[in-house]
Amino acid sequence: MQPLIKKLVEAYGPSGYEGQVRELVRAEIRSLPDYTSVDPLGNLIAVLKKKTKSGRKVMLSAHLDEIGVMVSHIDERGFARFVNLGGVSPLTCVGGRVRFASGVTGVIGLDARRDDPGKPPTLAELFIDFGAASRADCPVKVGDAAGFYRPMETIGEHRLVAKSLDDRIGVAILIEVMRQLKNSPHEVAFVFSVQEEVGLRGAGTAAFGLDAEVGIAVDVTRTGDTPNGPKMAVNLGGGPAIKVRDSGMLADPRVKDLLVQRAREANLPAQLEILEAGTTDAAAMQIARGGLPAGCVSIPTRYLHTPSEMVDLRDVEGVVALLVQTLQKPIEL
Amino acid sequence: MDLLAHLKDLCTAPGISGYEGRARDLIRTAWAPLTDELHVDRLGSLWAIRRGTAAEPRPRLMLAAHMDAIGLMVTLLEGEFLRVVAVGGIDARVMPGQPVTVHGRRDLPGVVVQPPAFLLPKASREGVVPVSELLVDVGLPAALVAEQVRVGDVISLAQPPRELQGGLLAANRLDNRASVAAVTACLDELRARPPAWDVVAVATVQEEVTLGGAITAAFALEPQLAIAIDVTFGAGGGVRDFPDRTFALGSGPALGLGPNIHPKLHAALKATAERLEMPYTLEAMPQHSGTDAFGLQVARAGIPTMVVSLPLRNMHTPVEIVALKDVQRVGRLLAEFIGALTPDFMESLRLED
């Protein structure tokens, strides 16, 4: 999966501007689904048709979008001020690089004169330098959106470090599941959703449109295993994390229990996840229409929303295996 | 019906948000003989349908009382202790020393404990110890805890109900089982007074976390009218400085007013209370009503919505207190309103006139 993951994480696609990464996914899955569509918000929906009468309609969702920035002002010397698209921390911006849809890159600098230099900066105290000499020379305009930019690297034996593993790793997993899933009795709708980082907006409309019977999001979660980390029972390399709750939802206990059972049957190590800050597409699916039993399989990830998010490839493979295992068998809730 | 016994019974079921099963079973038993048809929807909300007498297609009224309750959830096994997180708005000030039940592989009695101050992070040594620093002790050695308890198990508060003087009841989970009992009383009164409208009493799930039960049930049921029944802040206990935001126990239903409320539906409920010479109060709800009504109102193409509240002291603590006669009155008010609904009542709600 590594070449696929590299392609996906290095692609451009901040919230609302998912076109490039959507085309990349569409090309990857070309002949796999029975049919594919792009809905009015830009969600890419690939459907494998139902094979048996007793099969369920299942919605899987991984979001295409990544956090990023949007240019809000350009000064006379060609420096740009910006606002955030999604949860961007000023701490991880300084010295970072951003890349725009056109491929133009810029470097983030920090005001030297600030009200309180002892405090961490705010986004308003940061700017993007394009190497321009003047406003006229600046290669971007107000409203242009950028993603952060770093190449992916392998660290240690099993670990990947990259930007946008949130949630391109979920996108890669959905593609891999689509490749491996041969004998599912269910209708499976693979939703590559938009605008998750700005309020789960794509998944909500996709869930309304699909009217599925079960929903499973595939997204990243934090881990409790870093120095002075959060008190959390999820470890990197500990296996797929089956969500119990996060700050946006209580996962449906029936979905959670089904995933736990399928992991046990396949002898897959798995962890139970309680995420105290953050949520996923599953929260939007749960309250779509008349309600959808919804849960989430998470990929344990360190340093979320920084340009150096870290996952363990064994966890990634575990999530693929757990989803394939779950989708190949009956789903009784 | 014995309202006190019914309410005490309802308060014994844990029914933590997302895990409402046992509460639903009790409510189903109480509502089944009073209604024509029961249904559990996709997220677990219970619908009890009382068919009306008007010709088809009959208009439909939804009563929404949430059955879920606040509680705790295990986040981490720390040796023989459990670290926890709140489900819903737990009041950390009253948690240390509380008896709880840990719903593990079996139900385990436990107590909430706080570590000595010198062992806490500096920021938590003075004042209220946050839930994140509290632990639950079930008395088992670490190895047995790991056998019986998993991350994600829910924990319910276990104070038994206590009858106080003056017709008051102190108990866990009166938010919102008191309203569920009021709906039971309403359905009971409607037995003798067949309504023209279909009435769907819904015990909703997950109000304390997302309003998800009300949002989804209202979409699925598509009612013409919706009334949320919930608790509001009772006067007393150090809240004397907020006469506009608290309501005396025994002062009757508090009728909500504000953007979340349809003004003409409010007026109709108020007129009903006046016709009955029932005491009532008015509750200003300038923004989010803090109830299921916030989700109900914007379901589908929009639903005229009302909030009827019960005064309750010590909200979100294990000693919530209500007056029995308020519960009875809310039930009666709803029944009288519903019983008098004519098939063309919706005409009277038109806002352009």
Name which of A36-40, B63-67, B118-122, B201-205 the model is least confident about: B118-122
Q: How far is CA A240 from CA A2, A115, B77, B194, B215, in A?
A: 18, 45, 19, 54, 31
- The CATH number covering residue B94 comes to 2.40.30.40
Catalytic residue IDs of A: 196
- CB A244 to CB B219 under 8 A? no
Which residues in chain A touch residue B151, judged by CB atoms under 8 angstroms apart? 233, 244, 271-274
- Distance, CA of A248 to CA of B148 (rounded, Å): 27
Q: Are residues B188 and B305 in the same domain?
A: yes
Number of structural domains chain B divides into:
2
Contact B15, B23 (CB under 8 A): yes
Amino acid at A105: T
Q: Report the pLDDT value the prediction gives residue A20, as an integer from 0 to 100.
A: 98
Angle at A167 between CA A40 and CA A203, to 5 degrees: 30
Is the pLDDT at A130 greater than 90, yes or no? yes
Residue A265, judged by CB atoms within 10 A of its CB (0-12, 13-18, 19+), counts as exposed
Contact A217, A285 (CB under 8 A): yes
- Written as one string, the DSSP assignment of A262-285 is HHHHTT---EEEE-SS---HHHHH
Distance from CA of A243 to the nearest CA of B (A): 9
pLDDT tens readout for residues B92-113 = 999 999 999 999 999 999 999 9
- CB A283 to CB B209 under 8 A? no
Residue B111 belongs to what domain range?
Answer: 71-157
A257: preceding bond cis by omega (within 30 degrees):
no
Q: In this predicted model, which residue has the larger pLDDT, A15 or B116?
A: A15
Q: Are residues B15 and B111 in the same domain?
A: no
Q: Are residues B336 and B208 in the same domain?
A: yes
- Residue B162 placed within a domain: no
Q: How far is CA B171 from CA A14, B8, B216, B292, B326, in A?
A: 50, 8, 29, 22, 15
Q: Are residues B44 and B192 in the same domain?
A: yes
pTM of the model: 0.94
pLDDT tens readout for residues A260-283 = 999 999 999 999 999 999 999 999
Task: Quickly state the pLDDT bin for B162 (edges 50, 70, 90).
Answer: very high
CB-CB: which of A250, A271, A273 is closest to B206?
A: A250
Is the pLDDT at B239 greater than 80, yes or no? no
Is the pLDDT at B220 greater than 80, yes or no? yes
Q: Report the pLDDT value the prediction gives residue A316, as an integer from 0 to 100.
A: 98
Is the pLDDT at B42 greater than 70, yes or no? yes
- CB B73 to CB A231 under 8 A? no
Q: Are residues B96 and B143 in the same domain?
A: yes
Name which of B45-54, B107-116, B133-142, B228-237 the model is least confident about: B228-237
Q: Are residues B311 and B243 in the same domain?
A: yes
Please name the residues in contact with A73: beta carbons below 8 A apart, sequence gap of 6 or more: A80, A81, A142
Q: Are residues B211 and B283 in the same domain?
A: yes
- Distance, CA of A198 to CA of A201 (rounded, Å): 7
- Residue B7 placed within a domain: yes
- The H helix count followed by the E strand count for chain B is 8, 17
Task: Quickly state the pLDDT bin for A183 (edges 50, 70, 90).
Answer: confident
Q: Average pLDDT, stretch A211-215?
A: 97
Is the pLDDT at A182 greater than 90, yes or no? no
- CB B42 to CB A245 under 8 A? no
Instruction: Please name the residue of chain A whose CA is at the shortest distance from the CA of residue B152.
Output: A244
Please name the residues in contact with B85: beta carbons below 8 A apart, sequence gap of 6 or more: A274, A276, B72, B73, B75, B131, B132
H or E stretch covering A39:
none
Q: Are residues B220 and B305 in the same domain?
A: yes
Q: Report the pLDDT value the prediction gives residue A115, as an integer from 0 to 100.
A: 87
- Residue B252 placed within a domain: yes
Instruction: Specify the 3-state DSSP secondary structure of B331.
Output: helix
Distance from CA of A249 to the nearest CA of B (A): 7
Instruction: Please name the residue of chain A whose CA is at the shortest distance from the CA of residue B216.
Output: A290
Amino acid at A324: V
- Distance, CA of A231 to CA of A238 (rounded, Å): 16
Query: What are A38's two structure tokens?
Result: 């792009």
Query: What are B41's two structure tokens?
Result: 């929807």
Distance from CA of A175 to the nearest CA of B (A): 29
Which residues in chain B touch residue A289, judged by CB atoms under 8 angstroms apart? 216, 219-220
- Distance, CA of B173 to CA of B315 (rounded, Å): 9
Task: Quickly state the pLDDT bin for B21 (edges 50, 70, 90).
Answer: very high
Q: Are residues B53 and B188 in the same domain?
A: yes
Interface ipTM: 0.92
Q: Are residues B342 and B308 in the same domain?
A: yes
Which residues in chain B touch residue A248, judged by CB atoms under 8 angstroms apart? 210
Which residues in chain A touch residue B219, judged by CB atoms under 8 angstroms apart? 289-291
Which residues in chain A touch residue B210, judged by CB atoms under 8 angstroms apart? 248-249, 283, 286-287
Q: Report the pLDDT value the prediction gives residue B238, as an integer from 0 to 100.
A: 65
Query: Which stretches of chain A sit within 8 Å of chain B by CB?
Result: 224, 231-233, 244-245, 248-253, 256, 271-274, 276, 283, 286-287, 289-293
Q: Average pLDDT, stretch B81-86?
A: 97
Q: Are residues B127 and B182 in the same domain?
A: no
Q: Report the pLDDT value the prediction gives residue B244, as an integer from 0 to 100.
A: 78
- Distance, CA of A79 to CA of A133 (rounded, Å): 9
Catalytic residue IDs of B: 207
Mean pLDDT of chain A: 97
- Which of B157, B182, B206 finishes a domain? B157
Is the pLDDT at A79 greater than 90, yes or no? yes
Distance from CA of B347 to the nearest CA of A (A): 27
Q: In this predicted model, which residue has the larger pLDDT, A9 or B352?
A: A9
Query: What are B135's two structure tokens?
Result: 């632990």
- Distance, CA of B78 to CA of A232 (rounded, Å): 11
